[in-house]
Amino acid sequence: MALREIDWENGIVGIDKVLDLLNNELSDEARAGLNAIKVEMEEKALLVEQTIHFTISYKDYSYYINDVEIPDEAMDRVCYSVIERDDEISELRRLACEAHSLGRADASLMDDDVEELMGIEDDYVLSSGATNEYLSFTNTYEVFNAKCQELLTVTKYIKEGK
């Protein structure tokens, strides 16, 4: 489940209800454990509220971050490309099959990339051409957000002719 999809408020309320209902039944250790979970959930809920959400979309043969078209030049400068996760999985599977049939050593690396991408829920991810790293909001939101901001900043400079 993605961090942003968790119903933090109802989860926190649920812990409060358990604490109220079982107050006399709980050991001090159990009560402390539930309170620790509640505090952690409150902290994560605050973090989610404060997190800038960058959304990636595709239309008219271009990728957009928060409705700003990202030119190829910006992706080249930042060394990250926007890719569609499902398309990348299909292409990697095709290449991995070919690599396995030829006995190439990089086939297992492609299998690892497919496995990593399968664990991502987002439709679009950022892919590094230099390090073969994949960034997504659901798995690496802090780094993902920083890279999205960098892409938007570079795009702005490109549009200004810098």
- Average pLDDT rounded to a whole number, residues 16-43: 73
Residue 107 tokens read as 């086939």
What are the tens digits of pLDDT across the range 69-83?
A: 999 999 999 999 999
Give me 33's structure tokens: 């454990």
**8 Å CB contact between 88 and 125:** yes
pLDDT at residue 6, as a whole number: 44
pLDDT tens digits for 34-47?
A: 778 777 777 666 66
Q: What is the 3-state secondary structure (H, E, C) of 44-67?
A: HHHHHHHCCCCCEEEECCEEEECC
Helix (H) or strand (E) holding 81: strand 80-84
3-state secondary structure of 27: coil
**Contact residues for 145 (Cβ-Cβ < 8 A; gap 6+):** 51, 52, 54, 137
> Above 80 in pLDDT, residue 10?
no
Cα–Cα distance for residue pair 39/148, rounded to 1 Å: 30
Which of 27 and 136 is assigned the larger pLDDT?
A: 136
pLDDT at 142 (0 to 100) = 84
Looking at residue 3, its pLDDT comes to 40
Angle between helices 28-50 and 8-21 (to 10 degrees): 160
pLDDT of residue 82: 94
Q: How far apart are CA 40 and CA 110, in angstroms?
A: 36
pLDDT at residue 49 in the model: 57
Looking at residue 8, its pLDDT comes to 44
Pairing relationship of beta strands 134-135 and 62-65 according to DSSP bridges? unpaired
Domain ranges of the chain: 3-50, 56-159
DSSP code, position 119: T
Give yes or no for a contact between 117 and 134, defined as CB atoms under 8 angstroms apart: yes
Give alpha helix (H) positions in 22-136.
Answer: 28-50, 72-78, 85-102, 107-118
